[in-house]
Amino acid sequence: MTLRVLLVDDHPVVRGGLRALLSTVDGFEVVAEAVDGESAVREAQQLRPDVVLMDVRMRGMGGVEATRQIRTRTPEVVVLVLTMFDDDATVFTAMRAGARGYVLKGAEQDDILGAIRAVAAGQTIFGPGIAARMLDFFAAPPPVEADAFPDLTDRERDILALLADGQRTSSIAAALFLSPKTVSNNLTNIFAKLEVSDRASAIIRAREGGLGNPR
């Protein structure tokens, strides 16, 4: 069986290298390439590949939000993250978004090929080092609320908490003694840091992190 793969990375050299690698091995077909999250979601919906090989940080919509949308809109499509970022926050956020595996770009070619085959077969796969940290995390999970959003400032965290509680911009501004414009500017920064494109996605992320009181 040939595995149909969608490559998602904003660096043409990386995409070219991956395409060259997969073209030399039987059982793989690169069906398309995407340079950002928006085009990745669109291509996944149109082509329904077996596996999306997804970078994390790209211009526009990032890989985490793209993974979340692909898994929501095309749940049969599997996402394997291939990135240079191995910090815990990025790893865990990507997995919560629905990624089936997480491999670093410095991995051996055979490891990357094996990871693609593994996730396509329904397995969950992690690169060396990341697997050990995932085991440690689940053995003694840290409080989600303490570090779910490490990139947010205190003000941004307060605004996100009120947003997750269902508050509108004007209500948030009144509660925090800020102008609506200041709240809107902060929301723009929050969306960028969370790699989401709208309020609804931000609310979902916030509630996953323990913020708000959903009713």
Q: 0.85 exceeded by the pTM? A: no
Helix residue ranges per DSSP H, the chain: 12-23, 37-47, 63-73, 88-97, 109-120, 130-139, 144-147, 154-164, 169-176, 180-194, 199-208
| Domains along the chain with CATH numbers | 3-139 (3.40.50.2300), 145-208 (1.10.10.10)
Distance from the first to the final alpha carbon of the chain: 47
Residue 131, both tokens: 């697997």
CB neighbourhood size of 200 (10 A): 9
Q: What is the pLDDT of residue 10?
A: 93
At 110-158, the pLDDT tens digits run 999 999 999 999 999 987 767 766 666 666 544 444 567 888 998 998 8
Q: Amino acid letter at 133?
A: R
